[in-house]
Amino acid sequence: MVGILGGSGLYDIDGVQIIEEREVRTPYGEPSDRFVIADYKGKKAVFLPRHGKGHKFPPHLINYRANLWGFRKLGVKKILSVSAVGGINPLLRAGDFVIADQFIDFTKVRPVTFYEGAYTIVDEDDPNDDLVKEYLSNDRVVHIDVTEPFCPVMRDLLKKVLSETGERFHGKGTYAATEGPRLETSAEIQALSRLGADIVGMTLVPEIVLARELSMHFASLNVITNLAAGISGERLTSDEVIQMMKEKNNIIREIVLRFIEDLPEKFDCSCEDVLKGAAI
Ligand code: HPA
């Protein structure tokens, strides 16, 4: 089953048949909202707005571990994350889509792992029986490989779906994750640009890292809602972010639905092997 994490301005998905809404308990605390389990053309998907309905949680206070653990408890193994981002690379325009292929992490105060060694929190109700459970039950310290953090199969499918929409999109891009909730200074954006970042946002990390720690496949679809600080010379507002996400709502929905429909059952990639040999 695929999980969809919606970002700013994307709090639900129309066009699917809702089967049930589930509150999921986790030992990490409360997920951002109820999980909405839905059917689209015979395929099941689970939707969660990462900021909660009504945008209750700022990026640095989202309970990323609870969100990812909730997906795990519902049997989700693949996650499509949709986010609003600022554009840094001068080739990018507001309204473009970017499928991230790398990230650089500048976050500071977030729980970043499930594997905390002697301090590990174990879920006695974990329904799975896998390496995640084994490592957590034995208080192991785990260092996952993130050389290529995103699932190549999901990225290829996103490229195919996007090329069929006629929207302007970029098949790769480096996402700089900042701590927020403030936006960046223009000096910070210049520095991020020199470091090779194409886009900037506040939520991809630790979301991708935690998903990967659970051996999940993960893809990140980003909408450029604004040019990053200092690039256009204009002051930035949350209004323009939400306005752009509203404008793109229909097309995002179409992309997500086609993605759900076309997602293959079997994946030819190594995402599920990431825990092998990763524990000390
Ligand atoms: N910076 C950080 N996060 C963002 C931005 C931005 O310019 N736009 C949308 N999310």
Determine which residue's CA is closest to atom 10 belonging to ligand 1: 85
DSSP letters, 43-60, are EEEEEEETTTTTT-S-GG
pLDDT at residue number 13: 75
- Cα of 104 vs centre of ligand 1, distance in Å, is 15
pLDDT at residue number 16: 84
Domain 82-273 superfamily per CATH: Nucleoside phosphorylase domain (3.40.50.1580)
pLDDT along the chain (280 residues), means of 10: 84 81 96 95 94 93 98 97 97 98 97 97 93 97 98 98 97 98 98 98 98 98 97 92 93 95 93 97
8, 104, 241, 243, best to mutate for ligand 1 pocket (most atoms within 8 Å of CB)? 241
* Per-domain residue ranges of the chain: 82-273
How many Å apart are CA 166 and CA 149, to the nearest integer? 27
- CA 111 to each of CA 28, 32, 120, 240: distance values in angstroms, whole numbers, following the listed order: 10, 15, 12, 30
226, 237, 242, 245, best to mutate for ligand 1 pocket (most atoms within 8 Å of CB)? 226
Q: Given the structure tokens 């999109």, which residue do they identify? A: 169
**Is any atom of ligand 1 closer than 6 Å to the C-beta of 200?**
yes
pLDDT at residue number 14: 77
DSSP letters, 77-142, are -EEEEEEEEEE-STT--TT-EEE--EEEEE--SS---S--GGG----TT----SHHHHHHHTT--B
pLDDT at residue number 10: 66
The alpha carbon of residue 167 and the mean position of all alpha carbons in its chain are separated, in whole angstroms, by: 21
- Cα of 220 vs centre of ligand 1, distance in Å, is 15
**Is any atom of ligand 1 closer than 6 Å to the C-beta of 88?**
no
HSE value, Cβ hemisphere, 13 Å, CA-based, for 53:
7
Of 240, 244, 255, nearest to 167 by C-alpha is 255
Which secondary-structure segment (H or E) carries 217?
strand 217-227
Q: Supply the pTM of this predicted model.
A: 0.96
DSSP state, residue 220: E
- Cα of 183 vs centre of ligand 1, distance in Å, is 6
**Is any atom of ligand 1 closer than 6 Å to the C-beta of 202?**
yes
Q: Which atom of ligand 1 is nearest to the CA of 226?
A: 8
